[in-house]
């Protein structure tokens, strides 16, 4: 690898099925591929989009995860967990199904029932264990209770997970101590657009100082825009418009921020990010070109 521009990047978290992409979803995917993003991981968020992420993954040559996001679990029907279990069983042999997710806990949005979230997350961790799949975790102001759940419910893991568990703590924004706790349980930490914000001092410090095998790259598109797409609250109020939509094609530029923070070349970040993604979500290896899948 030379400068990173010819490497295949993996966006480990992208909601390509979101309505923000309805008008130009194919063009978004074409731009991602042109930017060198060779593989997207598309996590479901509710029972309503289990089929959508699977269909998109097969159509675009990508990967997907099945699960229920904590923001939506209270809206799910009573048989939602049975529906998820049936879907995981029905697609157990699908190489593009790489994880259970997006699941977890959210302590940021007011009015959510923490007990309902915890019960649903614990049940989904159990389903992941039964399916032999890692998990993609939503961790927003919820690191400590989520760590407690993970310690009680062992799930499948990527290669080298010390706790017999594994997956990705998506959009990580916790303390150094919490970061170490997730790493000790075999998880990688997801870094994306927030890392490009100069004021995100804790995230940037972690991105710079964590071990080389601790992190993966993601966009969370259409959300968490990088600094060059972000609009301040004052700008949004003035213009009556929100931030520019994030896209998976932004991943290499986000990676450049990580390269600068860690004092690495873009090629080194590309190589390590691929290795880390494959360790967190081992089924991805079968979906990459042989030269990428075999990279150390």
Residues 27-49 have pLDDT tens digits of 999 999 999 999 999 999 999 99
CB 57 within 8 A of CB 11: no
**Mean pLDDT to the nearest integer, 190-203:** 97
| Residue-level pLDDT at 235 | 64
| Residue-level pLDDT at 264 | 98
| Residue-level pLDDT at 159 | 43
Map out the domains of the chain with their CATH numbers.
Answer: 9-293 (3.20.20.140)
List the one residue out of 192, 196, 204, 247 whose CA is nearest residue 222: 247
153 band by pLDDT with thresholds 50, 70 and 90: confident
Residues 94-151 have pLDDT tens digits of 999 999 999 999 999 999 999 999 999 999 999 999 999 999 999 999 999 999 999 9
Strands (E), the chain: 9-11, 37-43, 63-66, 97-106, 135-140, 167-170, 187-191, 215-217
Q: What dihedral angle (degrees, nearest 10) is formed by the CA atoms of 150, 154, 159, 161? A: 50
- Residue 97: φ, ψ to 5°: -85, 110
Query: What is the pTM assigned to this prediction?
Result: 0.92
| Residue-level pLDDT at 121 | 97
Residues 231-249 have pLDDT tens digits of 766 665 665 555 589 999 9
- Residue listed under structure tokens 């969370």: 220
User: What are the structure tokens assigned to 170, written together?
Assistant: 């998506």
| Residue-level pLDDT at 238 | 62
- Residue 63: φ, ψ to 5°: -125, 165
């Amino acid at each position: 690898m030379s400068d990173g521009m010819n490497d295949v990047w993996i966006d480990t978290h992208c909601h390509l099925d979101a309505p923000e992409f309805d008008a130009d979803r194919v063009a978004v995917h074409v731009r991602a591929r042109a930017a060198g993003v060779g593989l997207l991981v598309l996590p479901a968020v509710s029972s309503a989009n289990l089929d959508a992420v699977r269909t998109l993954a097969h159509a675009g040559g990508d990967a997907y995860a099945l699960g229920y996001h904590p923001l939506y679990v209270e809206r799910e029907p009573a048989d939602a967990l049975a529906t998820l279990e049936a879907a995981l069983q029905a697609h157990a042999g699908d190489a593009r199904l790489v994880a259970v997710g997006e699941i977890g806990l959210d302590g940021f949005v007011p009015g959510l029932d923490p007990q309902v979230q915890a019960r649903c997350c614990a049940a989904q961790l159990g389903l992941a264990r039964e399916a032999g799949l890692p998990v993609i975790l939503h961790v927003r102001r919820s690191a400590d209770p989520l760590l407690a759940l993970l310690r009680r419910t062992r799930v499948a893991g990527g290669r080298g997970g010390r706790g017999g568990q594994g997956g990705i703590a998506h959009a990580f924004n916790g303390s150094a101590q919490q970061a170490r706790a997730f790493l000790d349980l075999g998880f990688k930490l997801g870094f994306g657009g927030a890392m490009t914000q100069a004021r995100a001092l804790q995230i940037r410090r972690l991105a710079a100082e964590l071990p080389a095998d601790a992190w993966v790259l993601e966009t969370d598109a259409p959300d968490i825009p990088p600094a060059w797409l972000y609009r301040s609250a004052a700008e949004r109020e003035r213009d009556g418009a929100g931030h520019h939509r994030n896209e998976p094609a932004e991943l290499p530029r986000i990676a450049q921020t990580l390269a600068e923070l860690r004092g690495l070349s873009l090629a080194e970040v590309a190589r390590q990010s691929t290795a880390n993604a494959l360790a967190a979500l081992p089924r991805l290896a079968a979906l990459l070109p042989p030269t990428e899948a075999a990279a150390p």
